[in-house]
Structure 1
């Protein structure tokens, strides 16, 4: 019987202050964004060897997300930010088989109460 191993590393609630948004005031003042990332891969070799070089380095994943959120081109939509981060992660982390990125924005200009808005983007290698 052939077994397929799949592991997941998660970065949960990474917080960034960035200048994104639809409205000019949001881009001028900036705001708090929260990001979750799930990176699925086969960690069998890494676990057997206890070797960082055979796994996904979550420090590198965090750096990639940070670059998208802080240093990257401003975006109007959180959907755009989630898609950009997911694309960079799957491109730059060769072991990643599937990536899910969620971007949350809490301070919403809605005129009413809402905890947050969240966009999710998933990319999977085939």
Structure 2
């Protein structure tokens, strides 16, 4: 099983429980690993035999910027569901959503959620 890895995709969105998060918004960063059988692409070197990276990025962007979630846990789940729907060859998706501007009682650090979802 091969993997496509997308790292540190940044989007501006309005997720969070607090009113100011909905009003002001903040950056969210997404890392994703897609597990799929890409052995045909490895052998053929043909674009049609792989999964389009741009379509994966566009799918993530639509989920992150297209709605509002209170929890990044739910955001990660929605991303995973949407990515699994992109291509039937995708078997498993690992998602990590970083919320660097989370309201923490510290001057440094950030919050992340990691989620793995498989087809079926």
With the shorter chain as reference, the TM-score category is over 0.9
- Could you tell me how far apart the structure 1 residues matched to 2:101 and 2:53 are? 28
Give the superposition deviation at 1:114: 4.1
What SS does the aligned partner of 2:51 have? coil
Aligned to 1:101, which of 90, 95, 98?
Answer: 95
Q: In the comparison of the two structures, how many residue pairs are matched?
A: 120
**Aligned ranges for residues 1-126 of structure 1 at < 5 Å?**
6-71=1-66, 73-125=67-119
TM-score (norm 2): 0.94
TM-score (norm 1): 0.90
5+ long unaligned stretches in structure 2: none
- Could you tell me how far apart the structure 2 residues matched to 1:119 and 1:111 are? 18
CA contact (8 A) 1:108 1:114 kept: no
Question: Runs ≥4 in structure 1, deviation > 3 angstroms?
Answer: none
Give the superposition deviation at 1:47: 1.3
- Could you tell me how far apart the structure 1 residues matched to 2:39 and 2:5 are? 17
Once superposed, what is the RMSD of the aligned Cα atoms? 1.1
- Could you tell me how far apart the structure 1 residues matched to 2:87 and 2:70 are? 26
